[in-house]
Amino acid sequence: MTNLSGANLNSAAAVAPQGEGRESPSKFPTYPAYKDSGVEWLGAVPEHWCLTPLKFSASCNDSVLPDSTDDDYEIEYVEISDVDEISGITGCTNYKFSDAPSRARRILQDGDVLISTVRTYLRAIAPVVRPPINLIASTGFAVVRPRKGILDGVFLGYLLRAEWWISEIIARSVGVSYPAINASDLIGLNVPIPAWHEQTQIARFLDHETARIDALIEEQQRLIELLKEKRQAFISHAVTKGLDPTVPMKDSGVEWLGAVPAHWAVAPTNYRYEIQLGRMLNEQRAQGDHLKPYLRVFDVQWNAINTTDLPLMDFPPEVQSMYRLKKGDLMVNEGGSYVGRSAIWRGDLDECYYQKALHRLRPRDVKSDTAEFFLHVMEMATQQGVFVAGGNQTTIDHLTAEQLRQYRFAFPPLEEQLQIAEKITDVVSKIQNTTSEAEQLIDYLKERRSALISAAVTGKIDVRGWQRPASVPTPESEREAL
């Protein structure tokens, strides 16, 4: 059985080396003298720094692909969904110029910074680092290019990802569905510009510090993925092999199920559960004399059912017994990418019904079966790809009642079902607690990263005397090693 004790369930915070990534920007010294920037959202800046509109230190949208570009010219196209303020440019799509979207026009070069001027709340801002010569961005971006000898490209990449800058871009955007800002307004905003040697020093400092933080974030993300795998493995093992590793086993006769405990029954779902699809909704049934609350597909998530502000549908007396839910019913989604997603009806409302896109599973004999166990069987089945079409690993569009009735699963005695369900609840709770700790630590590290960048590029901290630890390679040496 999968072992989930010990280090695997320790506090997520313990994964981070003590002290690393946890320093406040306040631990660094400040400059000896400051001046009022005159910009409310920027505050004071070091006395010897310049404060000028960005357009005096950088240009915008300098290079575009002409319409005369050869139709067969291959480009790597970056759109807004490919850009993240922390991860940078995360992907691109290959096109021939003739097939590319008409907005694929902005030519990128090393040191540029991409800033989305539409849907600015997505915070799609990223530096361009050693791009291929055919990397092209959407016209939905402003491509800010540092002027040589005035603005360092790496420093600019951090400057334009500072929280005060992003917040100001979002605040100045116009529109409801697609808030946007003009590129000319964007580069007209004032920014603090230190001397060249300070820019490069700040860039080196932030390269080092953000790399440390990013490594810790990645470590927590790996932990979360590991915990997810452990959760799935434990549930799968528990509902197919049981909790006792010493019991005799037998061949289930089901290829994907393999061997199961010898005293378990293997049977089609229909032998153990009544399966009933819900009532079809149409315009007429949204009106009537017997309007009742009913569940929809998106009301049924994994092990959670929404009962707030449910819509009403007409369920006349002659069909109410067929569609009325009872405490302990298992609701199973039957369509789309959510096939098999299940939750138990806990009786939160005195009276509730359900639509046709949901199956209701009810034990034929409550002395033999419980949905508390079969809920986890359904999770195992979806994770193991049991509900796939024709063996091609494509999720079926609909899990019909007839199909669900024929699927064969393993059923332990009722007492064992309850023991397994209780154990799964306990283990999953511990895993979820550790996952939540890891997620909280990631949020903290991201906040710390953002605060450190903002503090450094606005001069709230003085890193002129900072030196990279001797044991840490510089970005330049790492590039040379490649």
Give the residue range(s) of CATH 3.90.220.20 domains in the chain. Answer: 52-193, 265-411
**Given 3-state DSSP classes, what are the helix, strand and coil percentages for the chain, each rounded to the nearest 5?**
35, 25, 40
The pLDDT of residue 475: 53
Beta bridge partners of 146: 58
What pTM, to 2 d.p., does this model score? 0.81
d(CA 459, CA 29): 10
The 10s digit of each residue's pLDDT in 100-114 is 999 999 999 999 999
Mean pLDDT, the chain, rounded, equals 89
* Cα dihedral 417, 418, 423, 426 in deg (nearest 10): 140
Percent of the chain past pLDDT 90, that is, above it, reads: 80
* Residue 477: band (very low, low, confident or very high) from pLDDT cuts 50, 70, 90: low
Question: What's 305's DSSP letter?
Answer: E
Render pLDDT for 201-247 as a digit per residue (tens, 0 to 9): 999 999 999 999 999 999 999 999 999 999 999 999 999 999 999 99
Q: What was the pLDDT predicted at 103?
A: 95
Q: What CATH topology corresponds to 52-193?
A: Adenine-n6-DNA-methyltransferase TaqI; Chain A, domain 2 (3.90.220)
- pLDDT-derived band at 7, boundaries 50, 70, 90: very low
Band of pLDDT at residue 12, cut at 50, 70 and 90: very low
**pLDDT tens, 395-453?**
557 888 999 999 999 999 999 999 999 999 999 999 999 999 999 999 999 999 999 99
CB atoms inside a 10 Å sphere around CB 110: 11
Q: Where are the beta strands (DSSP E) in 350-451?
A: 353-354, 358-363, 388-389, 394-395, 408-411
The contacts of residue 91 (CB under 8 Å, 6+ apart) are: 78, 82
**Domain 265-411 CATH class label:** alpha beta
